[in-house]
Chains A and B, each alone.
Chain A
Amino acid sequence: MNVTTLTDQYLRERLSKGTRDDGRDLFSFRNISIEIGKIPHAEGSAEVTFGNTKVLAGIKLDVGEPMRDKPDEGSMMTGAELLPLAHHTFDSGPPSPDAVELARVVDRGIRAANMIDVKKLFIEEGKSWNVFVDLYILNYDGNLFDSSALAAAAALYNARMPKYEEGKVVREGELGKLPIGNLSTSCTYAKIGNSILLDTNASEEIFADARITIANDEQFVRAMQKGLSGAFKAGEVDMLVEKTFEKSKDLRKMVQSTRGE
């Protein structure tokens, strides 16, 4: 059982007044924290919390073959684990469709924004760096999309770049940073009745009719995903895209500040 169970009636009453059970207005994020470098064994890591939602992102780099269609670039792969320890409804076993969707949406945000400068990950003919982004959900209280995207961004932004010397990967010692292009983050909104709200917690998320994730960097929308069985109107999407550019400034600032920028 979640810590709070709202009734439909209670939630709608509150939303119609423009407030939420935890005291936020409709377009506010919960308290967000970022902790960098929690897993020194990984090339990069970041633990992000959105309220009680907790996500750990870990970055690993290995030497492998480039993708066949991109022989002069490095590659990247994103995985997400909805760990059964994070919520009573998460099962052990192969990744659920929810976990696969989460990984793919976060992956698209990173890839489309060229967050990793993959051209610089080419080593030699037939060899390039593969970047593994793994998202570990440690406690679920809603909005895994934005918390995971932020954790991935912060982990990549601070990741070490291992060296490849005489056929061996050197992961320790004097290392540079993973080459980063644009910084991309996401904002996810849920539609409940006639209200639209940002960053839902678990007790709100149950009532969501429709969901939309918008990932962007400073200039462009980079990835979007509508989810659940409800729908959005064109005007609502316009409004939310605009909102996302406004909201994402703070998210990018938070990531930049982890490097003291």
Chain B
Amino acid sequence: MEKPTLITNGKRLDGRDQNTLRPIKISVNPVKNAAGSAYIEWGNNKIVSAVYGPREALPKHTQDPDKAVIKCRYTMAPFSSLEEHGRPGMNRRAIEISKVTKEVFENVILRDLFPGNEISIFVEVLQSDGGTRAAGITCASVALAASGIPMRDMPYAVSVGKAEDTLILDLDKIEDNYSSADMPIAINPRTQEINLLQMDGELTPDDVHRGIEMVIKAGEVITKAQREALLAPYEMTSEKYKASI
């Protein structure tokens, strides 16, 4: 396929402008067996994440006597893309994404509370359309909060990239394939610390600076979706709570 023009008169192929996210919808606890779980639809991405633990870390040599170890598994369903059938399970890309996702949550989970234990985070991409690692982190964050595993912050992630000399937020699959740069970022919203940062392509120092700003700005919308999902089970009563005291 020839490279399509990704931006025309300030509009992207799907009609968004440079700063607009795709629609995000999150729900909690679709996986009944897990300690906590969440389902996210982010544009055409559909991802389920579930958390198990804290539980005894096995095999034993993976245990850390001082704190919980975090294990993460990100995989893509073989039917998740609009193209040909994929291979199930882990490939090199999935192994790397699992690792950086794990590190995001190592940063926020209060691991000292559970020495010798493991906390397992699973991210299953059921349908993919670009930006699945960011959507997966955003979703896993909600699954962890739903499980009651203590965290010092609730990360979100989104990608920023560059096309036709313009920085664009939240790249979909076509943009991801043909953009000149892609930079997925995860943020701890309370502290605004950068918790994941990857990049490939071609960006000026100023692009990097402005790209990070765009991602921090986007946090308002993404964390709102996360919070609404977590509060939904309690929502109808939050007003009554105040009334009842």
Contact = CB atoms under 8 A, between A and B. Distances in A.
Question: Is there any pair of Cβ atoms, one from A and one from B, under 8 angstroms apart in the complex?
Answer: yes
Interface of A: 2-3, 38-42, 45, 52, 54, 56, 58-60, 62, 79, 81, 83-88, 92, 94, 130, 132, 134, 136, 138-141, 169, 171-172
A141 B78 CA distance: 23
Given A85-B31, A85-B50, A138-B48, A92 B127 contact: no
B84 interface: yes
A83 B89 CA distance: 10
A62 B77 CA distance: 16
Given A62-B84, A81-B88, A83-B122, A132 B78 contact: yes
Nearest to B123: A85
Tell me what chain B mostly uses at the interface: helix, strand, loop, or mixed.
Answer: loop
B44 A62 contact: no
B123 to A, nearest CB: 8
Contacts of B124: 83, 85, 136, 138
A171 B82 contact: yes
Given A38-B46, A41-B128, A83-B124, A141 B34 contact: no
Nearest to B81: A41
Contacts of B73: 84, 92
B226 interface: no
Interface centre among B31, B78, B85 (most CB of A within 10 A): B85
9 contacts: A3-B33, A39-B79, A52-B32, A54-B31, A58-B79, A62-B84, A79-B88, A85-B49, A136-B124
What band does the interface of chain B fall in when counting residues whose beta carbon is under 8 Å from A?
Answer: 20 to 34
Contacts of B85: 60, 62, 130, 132, 134
Contacts of B31: 54, 85-86, 138-139
Contacts of B149: none
What are the 7 tightest A-B residue pairs by CB atom distance, in nearest-first order?
A58-B79, A85-B122, A85-B50, A42-B79, A60-B85, A132-B85, A41-B82
B140 to A, nearest CB: 11
Interface of B: 30-34, 37, 44, 46, 48-50, 52, 55, 73, 77-85, 88-90, 120, 122, 124, 126-129
Contact of A132 (B46, B55, B79): B79
Contacts of B80: 39, 41-42, 58
Contact of B78 (A54, A58, A138, A169): A58
A92 B44 CA distance: 26
Given A41-B44, A41-B127, A83-B124, A172 B82 contact: yes
A54 B34 CA distance: 13
Nearest to A87: B33
A214 B81 CA distance: 33
A118 B196 CA distance: 48
A41 to B, nearest CB: 5
A36 to B, nearest CB: 14
A207 to B, nearest CB: 19
B34 A40 contact: no
A62 B84 CA distance: 6
Given A41-B128, A52-B32, A84 B77 contact: no
A252 B88 CA distance: 29
A138 B81 CA distance: 19
A38 B79 CA distance: 11
A40 B82 CA distance: 8
Contact of B127 (A40, A94, A132, A139): A40
A86 B33 CA distance: 7
A6 B28 CA distance: 28
Nearest to A77: B85
B79 A88 contact: no
B88 A39 contact: no
Contacts of B128: 41
